[in-house]
A and B are shown apart, each in its own frame.
Chain A
């Protein structure tokens, strides 16, 4: 197989050509932002290193099934122990544990490091689909990463997309066949279809280590992380916490990147679905709930979500990029009054916006059903267009990247320091929590022992003082049940002989 890999020289040439057409440089952060050295130090901690993943999961599973309890520190130790995310079954076990912890009252004790560790495992293992799924369901998994982790996630996903090349979806084949197929046909297909993205799903043959390695070697990104950066941005919007300028710029970049791409990108709805029975089943509840849509957590469609994110983050970012994205955001979100107000603001304050956004807004506004509102909006857009110097021909993506790069340059050293500090603090927290847990177990054990001892002493006391307390004890005995014998069938009741009236004369008929 190794011999066959030498073919894609042409492919590489093609890829390098294509790179010039794709937006340049999404490399905002350096490799040191990951703080891998400090992060990996957790494995040296005897507390973590002493854990054997397989056995530990088995123990936790048994404990859960027996007692129905999950402990936050146990889950944290398990997650932090994972050093090879691509090992068989680790991610499934991880998901199960996180879910159990979240759906139990112990979720309030979840350690800070758990969130970060889970996401880093999924990121490093390339399980982008799982990552977005877990992140999008806080009620079931409860992952709330901090800002540096969000930065890392968004940056990695944006960066990966740079190498992305489309390839038609494949049918299920095994690893070897798929590998041969890639080798033989990727170039041809690539040239023939003029495709730009290589797409594959999470089938086992696709995610096999060799295949992933091969794709990584030739810098071919995987499609499965396509909308993931936007997902992280949406998570920050739902929390209403856009953090420092670097995070804000990355949020803007992720959403803009997603919304401006023409392809029909997958945006799965991860809302948990309840299986419905074949026939109508009536369920008695105390009170019916009135239908309610909160326009925040209930949003599922990509456009309103990303529009809202853009609209909310743009005032924080400011500048031409901020203003343009704000307009785009309100248009995508479908809030036409806010869009009209924002357009008025642009017209009155004479602040320039990008031409590409105006085109996009126009196309979105034309889809408005209400004729009056559409006319008003179109006239607003027309006013902005007519004003001199308000619409400028500027590459918005370049402006956003510039913003992100500036912010990254300023924030990176500080963030790295903060992260290192965090990792160290988390180690201490873990140690403290572990000690607390051990103390709690010891206390519980001691109490159980004392209880056992007390029972034993009571039993002995009863034996020793039996004759002193004999009367009292006999009073405590249940009364003897009185035995009522059944009437014996040996002596059946005798029937009285029939009395005959001798004076009786039967009548004549």
Chain B
């Protein structure tokens, strides 16, 4: 009778990064890999190129598929058509979700990356009008400022604040704005 594994199911299909890297000369430096889930999820090209791979070669429990899970991996990442530079993906390298790109397929991925049009970066107006109550309080207290400054989160990638002299493409105002389905707001706005 065989070993029977019991555990949660997952949607990942593929191999661990270390299982691929261990089969390749020089730990696959320069070769390309993809995450199967990303490939299914996004239509934009998403792939990695191995820069540094140092497997721990942990033995664990081979009969339970619990080996070759750890190591340090620095990979050059192209995520949804955007080049993100070298990133450390050691923490997700254990996921059985990687697939090696064969050398004759590499050109197609790079071509797709070059042809991929990334969405334009939105220029956001750096200031926003004060809310009505705050405006009244500011007036009462004699503050000179009429606007609030916007601070973007550092992970924001598709937008940035408009510099001086640039025309912002997106300006935020107080109020409800135009709803997506105005029919629902009849008599309210």
User: Which residues of A does B touch, CB under 8 Å?
Assistant: 102-105, 107-108, 138-139, 142, 144, 238-241, 272, 274, 276-290, 292, 294, 296-297
Contacts of A287 in B (CB 8 A): 7-10, 12
Query: Which of B1, B2, B27, B57 has the largest number of chain A CB atoms within 10 A?
Result: B57
Contacts of B19 in A (CB 8 A): 139, 297
23 pairs, A vs B, C-beta closer than 8 Å:
A103-B57, A138-B23, A139-B68, A142-B22, A239-B24, A274-B62, A276-B2, A278-B1, A280-B1, A283-B3, A283-B64, A285-B5, A286-B8, A287-B7, A287-B8, A288-B6, A288-B7, A289-B10, A290-B9, A290-B11, A294-B14, A294-B15, A297-B23
Taken together as a complex, chains A and B put the C-alpha atoms of A458 and B110 apart, in Å, by 63
Taken together as a complex, chains A and B put the C-alpha atoms of A105 and B103 apart, in Å, by 27
Contacts of B2 in A (CB 8 A): 276, 280
Query: Which of B5, B12, B27, B61 has the largest number of chain A CB atoms within 10 A?
Result: B5
Taken together as a complex, chains A and B put the C-alpha atoms of A288 and B64 apart, in Å, by 9
Is B136 part of the contact surface with A, judged by Cβ < 8 Å? no
Is B130 part of the contact surface with A, judged by Cβ < 8 Å? no
Per-residue A-contact encoding for B79-120, CB less than 8 Å = 1, 0 else = 000000000000000001001101100000000000000000
Q: Nearest CB to that of B20 among chain A residues? A: A297
Assess whether B65 is in contact with A289, with CB atoms less than 8 Å apart: yes
Assess whether B57 is in contact with A285, with CB atoms less than 8 Å apart: no
Query: Which of A282, A289, A290 has the largest number of chain B CB atoms within 10 A?
Result: A289
6 additional contacts (CB under 8 A) given A240-B102, A285-B5, A289-B65: A103-B59, A139-B23, A144-B25, A282-B4, A285-B64, A297-B23
Assess whether B57 is in contact with A105, with CB atoms less than 8 Å apart: yes
Contacts of B148 in A (CB 8 A): none
Per-residue A-contact encoding for B141-164, CB less than 8 Å = 1, 0 else = 000000000000000000000000
Q: Contacting B96 at CB < 8 Å: which of A105, A139, A281, A289?
A: A289
Taken together as a complex, chains A and B put the C-alpha atoms of A276 and B64 apart, in Å, by 11
Taken together as a complex, chains A and B put the C-alpha atoms of A454 and B112 apart, in Å, by 62
Contacts of A288 in B (CB 8 A): 5-10
Q: Nearest CB to that of B53 among chain A residues? A: A108
Assess whether A241 is in contact with B66, with CB atoms less than 8 Å apart: no
The minimal Cβ–Cβ distance linking B58 to chain A, given in whole angstroms, is 9
Taken together as a complex, chains A and B put the C-alpha atoms of A240 and B2 apart, in Å, by 35
The minimal Cβ–Cβ distance linking A68 to chain B, given in whole angstroms, is 12
Taken together as a complex, chains A and B put the C-alpha atoms of A292 and B10 apart, in Å, by 13
Q: Contacting A292 at CB < 8 Å: which of B6, B15, B22, B26?
A: B15
Q: A138-B22, A144-B25, A287-B8 are in contact. Are A240 and B57 (CB under 8 A)?
A: no
Contacts of A241 in B (CB 8 A): 25
Per-residue A-contact encoding for B54-76, CB less than 8 Å = 1, 0 else = 11110101111110100000000
Assess whether A296 is in contact with B65, with CB atoms less than 8 Å apart: no
Contacts of A272 in B (CB 8 A): 62
Taken together as a complex, chains A and B put the C-alpha atoms of A144 and B24 apart, in Å, by 8
Taken together as a complex, chains A and B put the C-alpha atoms of A240 and B30 apart, in Å, by 13
The minimal Cβ–Cβ distance linking B104 to chain A, given in whole angstroms, is 8
Taken together as a complex, chains A and B put the C-alpha atoms of A422 and B9 apart, in Å, by 50
Taken together as a complex, chains A and B put the C-alpha atoms of A105 and B68 apart, in Å, by 11
Taken together as a complex, chains A and B put the C-alpha atoms of A297 and B68 apart, in Å, by 16
Assess whether A107 is in contact with B3, with CB atoms less than 8 Å apart: no
Contacts of B15 in A (CB 8 A): 292, 294
Taken together as a complex, chains A and B put the C-alpha atoms of A375 and B56 apart, in Å, by 51
The minimal Cβ–Cβ distance linking A236 to chain B, given in whole angstroms, is 10
Taken together as a complex, chains A and B put the C-alpha atoms of A272 and B65 apart, in Å, by 12
Contacts of A105 in B (CB 8 A): 54-57
The minimal Cβ–Cβ distance linking B10 to chain A, given in whole angstroms, is 5
Taken together as a complex, chains A and B put the C-alpha atoms of A285 and B57 apart, in Å, by 19
Is B13 part of the contact surface with A, judged by Cβ < 8 Å? yes
Contacts of B103 in A (CB 8 A): 240
The minimal Cβ–Cβ distance linking B36 to chain A, given in whole angstroms, is 9
